[in-house]
Structure 1
């Protein structure tokens, strides 16, 4: 069970509770497994997710790893950005179907892509919401421009893709998988998320929904050396690799031309 501590920042707590259907701690008679609470900093209050351990997680688009990736990640030449491709006269719009902590979406938005972040977890969606709200208070025009390209939706991604009437050029997927334990920050975030969300059991369903909704391509992030996400009839058209990661690319035009993907 997840709850939000409304002792501090009650107005913001109530907004998040209502938006993401998260119970307020003050209204519970039992201790939740995961708690959203507010940390006071010089820049204001930051929403954190805690499972009772000593290392809560939060999202910050203004500093830390995400800011570093935006500034020094390699711009349009980085594999993630190249994997999204480019339409004849514009950049494709992207649905990040597994938004998670928002890092990849933020990089893509900083390069001019219109990105819809889909996150089904109540707690993670709440962290993203808080991070976006705080980032919009920035006086940095580049950050504010990046945020204009980001839209957060709290939903099951496969259901969203099958129901939305919006055109979707690219669907991007980053299925959860065990990370190598090299960096403490990655280890901490992934350990808590895997504990809260459980094993990823519906990547096949999401890939199928993505293939039938995207008009340009589907991109799936995989660990280097890992098998593609299973699909009974369809394999990636190509891929782009980096030292530790591979981006499997499913070209919709190529799949339809070969008869692997029905209209």
Structure 2
């Protein structure tokens, strides 16, 4: 099924190039008014995923310059964050990471901000388009620190299993955060993120990702899971880092040097 695209201000200079880019894709249908089903929306040069109740519910954007992203980058705990420890940034600052399930790239952005070289793979075309827009906007910022982070991020469309699309060397670490099926709707899940989950769906083949990731990674594979979820493919990790709602399962091949 094609996804619909709505642009409230099509003549806005910030929207023109993005609108033209989206209209070239044969799986996008432009509409003249908000839809009764989830749709893409262009606002001030940002591409978002909108709920039918827009603007009551804000769209999901990939915005690395948002207040939330900036706060996490500056005050989120730096290399002391669990995701940073899990991939080994406390042992090697310039570690190379493949994010095999990029999603909204929030963790990858944190890793790159701490010095990691990150290649992201996203196979859902809608999510890839949101990511590409986020990276395009990041490349236009005049902030030298953000530009340096952007240089450490590379985005690919498709699966990391088809790694022939990149000529990069095998990564030190592969990071997986497969979409986990929601067992029930919860007030704790923000409505915008619930929309994202509905569009993307669960990664039904998540268990099949672990073995090839272990073949490819030099040092370890890190899998982010809901705290109470079973380990990927039923395989017990070498160690775990457990947080309030999530945990990081670490599958070690050899020590990071």
TM-score, structure 1 normalization: 0.80
Is the Cα contact below 8 Å between 1:96 and 1:171 reproduced in 2?
Answer: yes
SS in 2 for 1:25: strand
Is the Cα contact below 8 Å between 2:79 and 2:89 reproduced in 1?
Answer: no
**1:47 equivalent in structure 2:** 47
Tell whether 2:162 aligns with 1:160: yes
Tell whether 2:218 aligns with 1:212: no
**1:247 equivalent in structure 2:** 248
Between 1:63-72 and 1:31-40, the stretch displaced more is 31-40
SS in 1 for 2:65: coil
The structure 1 segments of at least 4 consecutive aligned residues displaced by more than 6 Å after TM superposition are none
> Matched residues in 2 for 1:199 and 1:51: separation?
19
Q: CA deviation at 1:35?
A: 2.4
Tell whether 2:72 aligns with 1:95: no
**2:30 equivalent in structure 1:** 25
> Matched residues in 2 for 1:78 and 1:223: separation?
17
TM-score, structure 2 normalization: 0.82
SS in 1 for 2:28: coil
Residues 123-154 of structure 1 show CA distances to partners (whole Å, capped at 9, x for unaligned) of 11111111111122222211111111111111
**2:79 equivalent in structure 1:** 76
> Matched residues in 2 for 1:12 and 1:116: separation?
23
* Unpaired stretches in structure 2, ≥5 consecutive residues: none
Is the Cα contact below 8 Å between 2:179 and 2:203 reproduced in 1?
Answer: yes
Q: CA deviation at 1:37?
A: 2.0
Tell whether 2:113 aligns with 1:132: no
* Unpaired stretches in structure 1, ≥5 consecutive residues: 255-263
